[in-house]
Amino acid sequence: MLENALVGTRRYYGLLALLAGIFALGFLVYLKQIQVGLGITGMGRDVSWGFYIAQFTYLVGVAASAVMVVLPYYLHNYKAFGRVTILGEFLAVSAVTMCILFITVDLGRPDRILNVLKYPTPNSILFWDMVVLNGYLFLNLLIGWNVLECERHSVPPPKWLKPFIYLSIPWAVSIHTVTAFLYAGLPGRGYWLTAIMAPRFLSSAFAAGPSLLILLCLLVRKYTKFDPGKEQIQSLGKIVTYATLINVFFFFCEVFTVFYSQIPDHLLHFQYLFGGIAGKGRLVPFMWFSIVGMTLTALFLVNPRLRQNETTLAALCGMVIITTWIDKGLGLISGGFIPNPLEQVTEYWPTVPEAIITLGVWAMGFLILTVLYKIAVSIKEEINA
């Protein structure tokens, strides 16, 4: 099947070259980071996790959302999704790869990364995150690849694959739950110390991931001879609608507890994010855009006419992706660190090298995605021909 990745149009090669170029640039800057240290980023002793960990968190959600196509197809026998499960699974593969890369570029001593295996520490959530992320990568590659191969030869997938498929469903939930537990169990960080963290992570994941999948389906339809299907896109649209609504609801649950209880440990972070503290409020416009935008998008999505029109659906999906990214990729991590445990405000903003390294990792992810989608689409075209 790999041979399909090697032959393609000029546009395909062009895209690969572009992504490889961005990745190479990011890699060069990363070499610089290894040499001079993580001080090259905007992080510091007060905001000790930044853009990298935020992208990681967001992408775990994108990866987990593959379950939204796998579950209806395999558990509810929703046949229509048979056409798009492979797209969901391969999206998960590329997203998990990016997660692992983001963790790696965030390490002070990446050369010692195998210490996590050498000295396994079950009381650390990071240990479990390593286990579930790698497991999820393995499951999706295994399932996606085998199902596609069988599809190509017009035979049903082998029986031994079924347990892996069923396992991948709770496993998807586990990756984002464990990632939420990284934050939700720390005694001194009021912003993260909330039991609704994992549910919020899942709801935003199931909003953002399928949104991205819809956009990818539309791109696939536009640029290849394979049509993922109108019904499929509409079903995904319904999933996005419910998930976005639930995500907004969860957010307001959090807001109620924080603002009605008035406990400063928790409240100060919201004040920083949505109002600023002592004149420092770099994230304020972003956070307001995120929550107002997300709420309006959810309401628009409820309207069947806006959802059924693929142009407006695509625009709304774009909004879901952007607003959830601001919430998780920008606000969540720095918001938890500002103010610091001594209630001092040190702001954070990524530096240029940090942004280039981040782009480099995204480029690698999209490179993998492009290659995997090329394989999948070529085979789908082959079957249809």
Partner 1 sequence: MGIDRREFIRIAGLSTLLGLGGKGAFELLAPGRVDAEIVPKPEAKKGKRWAMVVNQKKMDDHTARKCIEACHRVHNVPDFTNPPNDKLKLDPAMANRYQIKWLWTEHFHNAFPGEEQKYPQEHLAHLNFLLLCNQCNNPPCVRVCPTKATFQREDGIVMMDMHRCIGCRFCMAGCPYGSRSFNWKDPRPYIKETFPGYPTRELGVVEKCNFCAERLAQGLEPACVEVSGGLLIFGDLEDEKSQVREYLRKYFTIRRKAHLGTNPQVYYIV
Which residues would be at the binding site for partner 1 (CB under 8 A)?
36-39, 43-46, 48-49, 103, 106-110, 112-113, 115-127, 130, 182-183, 186-189, 264-265, 336-337, 340-344, 346
Tell the burial category of 163 from Cβ atoms under 10 Å away from its Cβ (0-12, 13-18, 19+). exposed
Minimal distance, residue 200 CB to partner 1, in Å = 18
Backbone dihedral angles phi then psi of residue 371, each to the nearest 5 degrees? -65, -45
Closer CB to partner 1, residue 52 or residue 206? 52
Closest CA to 188 of 343, 347, 348: 343
Phi-psi category of residue 154: left, alpha or beta, with phi > 0 → left and psi -120 to 50 → alpha: left
Separation of alpha carbons 227 and 225, rounded Å: 6
Minimal distance, residue 355 CB to partner 1, in Å = 18
- Residue 339: which H helix or E strand, with range? none
Residues 6+ apart with CB under 8 A from 108: 37, 38
Minimal distance, residue 48 CB to partner 1, in Å = 4
Separation of alpha carbons 176 and 129, rounded Å: 9
CA dihedral 147, 152, 156, 157 (to 10 degrees): -20
Closer CB to partner 1, residue 163 or residue 188? 188
Tell the burial category of 285 from Cβ atoms under 10 Å away from its Cβ (0-12, 13-18, 19+). exposed
Minimal distance, residue 44 CB to partner 1, in Å = 3
Closer CB to partner 1, residue 186 or residue 296? 186
Closer CB to partner 1, residue 325 or residue 337? 337
Phi-psi category of residue 193: left, alpha or beta, with phi > 0 → left and psi -120 to 50 → alpha: beta
Minimal distance, residue 256 CB to partner 1, in Å = 22
Closer CB to partner 1, residue 128 or residue 362? 128
Minimal distance, residue 121 CB to partner 1, in Å = 5
Residues 6+ apart with CB under 8 A from 332: 54, 57, 183
Closer CB to partner 1, residue 21 or residue 110? 110
Closer CB to partner 1, residue 175 or residue 313? 175
3-state secondary structure 42-101: CCCCCCCCCHHHHHHHHHHHHHHCCHHHHHHHHHCCCHHHHHCHHHHHHHHHHHHHHHHH
Joined tokens for residue 381: 């075209």
Closer CB to partner 1, residue 14 or residue 37? 37
Closer CB to partner 1, residue 66 or residue 273? 273
Minimal distance, residue 363 CB to partner 1, in Å = 24
Closer CB to partner 1, residue 127 or residue 270? 127
Minimal distance, residue 232 CB to partner 1, in Å = 39
Joined tokens for residue 33: 């980071």
CB 316 within 8 A of CB 301: yes
Minimal distance, residue 129 CB to partner 1, in Å = 9
Quickly count: other Cβ atoms within 10 Å of residue 109's Cβ.
8
Minimal distance, residue 116 CB to partner 1, in Å = 5
